[in-house]
Structure 1
């Protein structure tokens, strides 16, 4: 049987979401806001996508991972020859620093409406990896300010609320991914990072199950198989629980595990062959079960 792609095939939106990792809500938003692609419509109004659309989406994702905002993608792909796409993708995004500064000012002055508009832009224009870098830049600048406690609290609650809205729409889908990854955050890890990682799991085709640090890792692993978890992912952004998770992950070496942490992980040997340690820049590399 031939494995050749049928160039004339048309795919429903959920199949396109599976093939590309872009959820249906995002696909519709890109179509509506940026006229990124124009799917075929059935008589009943359902969207159908061609192989050309899917190829375009894959190019879009590659460029977004390099930091090109979604608002520029169509022009970049349509105007540039194929061999120049990679060169354009490697160029720095000129407006990210301006966006960071505008957000920092809005947060510092507790300007709710301004911040909401800027977050609209951030969440629409950036994929998760570039967005993570922007969020980290803002976080760092706010941490360096004097009297930062109130602005930081305002910032964390605003970003968390926005991420929760997006996650709610994903968790409310009629059918969730069958493979489940339990996510636990270590102490002193900002909750919005857990939400970002949960979004990433959805993009990768997995169902995230979020836990705070009220349950111990030993309890999580004890319940992993009875509750049909395929993997455990720990977020230890401040390296506060290294000794503990090293011991537990070694004890449950047969379970697929990840630790997302700081650069301190560079000098640590994984406790098992099924454990992958990821420094900050590697957090959103593809997951594989």
Structure 2
């Protein structure tokens, strides 16, 4: 169902960059919701620039609410004009699950042109947090479980190279466009690749942080120098593995105490070792990457950065 923009002449109107700032939905996604799905219909200036009223912004927020409940964007249009108390529908067969199956099959087939298409499609249709939660994180978990029983170094390294390239380009331009705090992201020593840290970097960049990504493990004893020379406001470590007892219980707390910035941990390691993190100097942010990144801001406020 299309949403017609019929606002009184004196209604305050906002350009797309302001709507993106207010809602956290990037302009590419806002345009996709309009063009592909007719979910929003902003007014246009004589030169074709989009202008959004408060009703449009409220509608964007409702779209986000449905997406964050796991409803695919293809089903959201039918829900927007229903009563607020309508129950979340079960996603139609062939939507999220089929998207995951398609993405995983594409990765395993080493079909890079199709992988590139799926990557850009997922980040244009959905906010990054939804794309990671509903698509990329589940697929990475599925692949890593599969590789634990039947390692496939070629597929893993190909996926890592693809994401390193695509996310690296995104980080380069995003870092130039923001003045947010710099987050130093480092992979943990037992993780065989940077998939988790790459996803965390993508999420952090989308939340307005500048990101310095180290996708090969930098020894903990070198972190103080790295923080000083890169002018980092926080260190964030990630892993898809359990990591060793000595690393979790001794090395990390010791490293955290040598830093003058917060040290956080995210990724599967946060779930696998939840009970092992007993030192308050190490901030355990969880395995849900969008949620983990949302927890950075309070830590940075507490440390006086924000």
Structure-2 change in CA distance of 1:255 and 1:13 (3 Å)? same
Q: 1:103–1:118: 8 Å Cα contact kept in structure 2?
A: yes
Q: 2:69–2:88: 8 Å Cα contact kept in structure 1?
A: no
What is the distance in 1 between the residues matched to 2:151 and 2:216?
Answer: 28
| 1:12 corresponding residue in structure 2 | 15
3-state SS of the aligned residue for 1:255?
coil
| 1:185 corresponding residue in structure 2 | 187
- Once the two structures are TM-superposed, the CA of residue 68 in structure 1 deviates from its matched residue by 1.9
What is the distance in 1 between the residues matched to 2:222 and 2:12?
Answer: 47
The 5-angstrom pairing of residues 38-49 of structure 1 reads 38-49=41-52
The 5-angstrom pairing of residues 30-109 of structure 1 reads 30-78=33-81, 80-84=82-86, 87-88=87-88, 91-92=90-91, 94=93, 95-109=95-109
What is the distance in 1 between the residues matched to 2:33 and 2:175?
Answer: 20
Structure-2 change in CA distance of 1:279 and 1:211 (3 Å)? same
3-state SS of the aligned residue for 1:266?
coil
What is the distance in 2 between the residues matched to 1:104 and 1:149?
Answer: 15
2:251 corresponds to which of 233, 244, 249? 244
Is residue 2:157 matched to residue 1:153?
yes
| 1:131 corresponding residue in structure 2 | 135
Q: 2:181–2:232: 8 Å Cα contact kept in structure 1?
A: yes
2:203 corresponds to which of 195, 200, 203? 200
Structure-2 change in CA distance of 1:267 and 1:68 (3 Å)? same
| Structure 1 portions without partners, runs of 5+ | 1-6
1:276 corresponds to which of 278, 283, 291? 283
TM-score (norm 1): 0.78
Q: 1:100–1:138: 8 Å Cα contact kept in structure 2?
A: no
TM-score (norm 2): 0.74
| Residues paired across the two proteins, number | 274
What is the distance in 2 between the residues matched to 1:151 and 1:215?
Answer: 25
Structure-2 change in CA distance of 1:223 and 1:118 (3 Å)? closer
Structure-2 change in CA distance of 1:107 and 1:217 (3 Å)? same
